[in-house]
């Protein structure tokens, strides 16, 4: 439980370690790294709960969403899909790793990629419907810019989740 709280606050801190891209409305953050780490280290149940705690904190008004935003407005705004995706991604990544019998960096990495795809699809879908973009525009604005940075973060996350046990 305390670890769930820890990962919620780590995700909050991860929102501040960000590399904004001028071409896209969605900033690149370290959040994905912590979300998937939470899913893989805490398992499906507590990983999900830690993300719910993170979202609740944001709704309460603390400036912890990416770029220092907060409130219900962000959750329903164009980037809200990514936030909703966090909860499901942590759940699926945790579930997959619970089903699979043995863990290695590669297996963890693959499970995290599935989680990443979930975050992206939620985010892109929301971005598409709110900002009225076509599919290709969404890909260019909402997914492609992040892939390289997120992949590097995932390798690190897979490494940590194998090395450290909670």
Residues that bind another protein (CB under 8 A): 1-6, 8-10, 12-13, 16, 20, 22, 45, 48-50, 52-54, 56-57, 59-63, 67-74, 160, 164, 166
Q: What are phi and psi of 29, to 5 degrees?
A: -130, 175
Closer to another protein by CB, 133 or 160: give it.
160
Q: Shortest gap between Cβ of 63 and another protein (angstroms)?
A: 4
If you write DSSP's letter for every residue of 70-100 in order, what string do you get?
-SHHHHTSTTHHHHHHHHHHHHHHHHHHHHS
CB of 61 to another protein, least distance (A): 4
Of the two residues 77 and 117, which places its CB atom closer to another protein in the complex? 77
Residue in 155, 154, 138 with CA at minimum distance from that of residue 26? 138
- CA dist 89 and 23 (Å) reads 26
Measuring CA to CA, which residue among 81, 82, 87 is closest to residue 49?
Answer: 87
User: In whole angstroms, how close is the CB of 110 to another protein at the nearest point?
Assistant: 22
Nearer to another protein, 63 or 117 (CB): 63
What's 16's DSSP letter?
T
Complex with another protein: residue 65 or 122, whichever CB lies closer: 65
- Work out how close the CB of 1 gets to another protein at its nearest, in angstroms, rounded to a whole number: 6
* Least Cβ distance, residue 162 to another protein (angstroms): 13
Run of H or E including 127: helix 105-131
**Closer to another protein at the Cβ: 48 or 138?**
48
How many angstroms from the chain centroid is the CA of residue 7?
12
């Amino acid at each position: 439980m305390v670890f769930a709280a820890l990962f919620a606050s780590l995700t909050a801190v991860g929102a501040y370690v960000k590399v904004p891209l001028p071409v896209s409305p969605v900033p690149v953050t370290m959040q994905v790294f912590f979300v998937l780490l939470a899913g893989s280290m805490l398992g499906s149940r507590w990983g999900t709960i830690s993300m719910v705690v993170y979202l609740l904190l944001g709704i309460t008004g603390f400036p912890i969403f990416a770029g220092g935003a907060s409130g219900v407005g962000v959750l329903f705004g164009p980037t809200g899909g990514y936030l909703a995706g966090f909860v499901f991604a942590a759940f699926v990544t945790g579930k997959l790793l619970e089903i699979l019998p043995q863990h290695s960096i590669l297996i963890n990495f693959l499970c995290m990629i599935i989680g990443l795809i979930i975050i992206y699809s939620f985010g892109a879908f929301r971005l598409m419907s709110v900002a009225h973009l076509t599919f290709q525009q969404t890909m260019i604005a909402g997914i492609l810019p992040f892939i390289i940075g997120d992949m590097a973060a995932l390798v690190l996350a897979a490494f940590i989740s194998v090395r450290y046990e909670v």
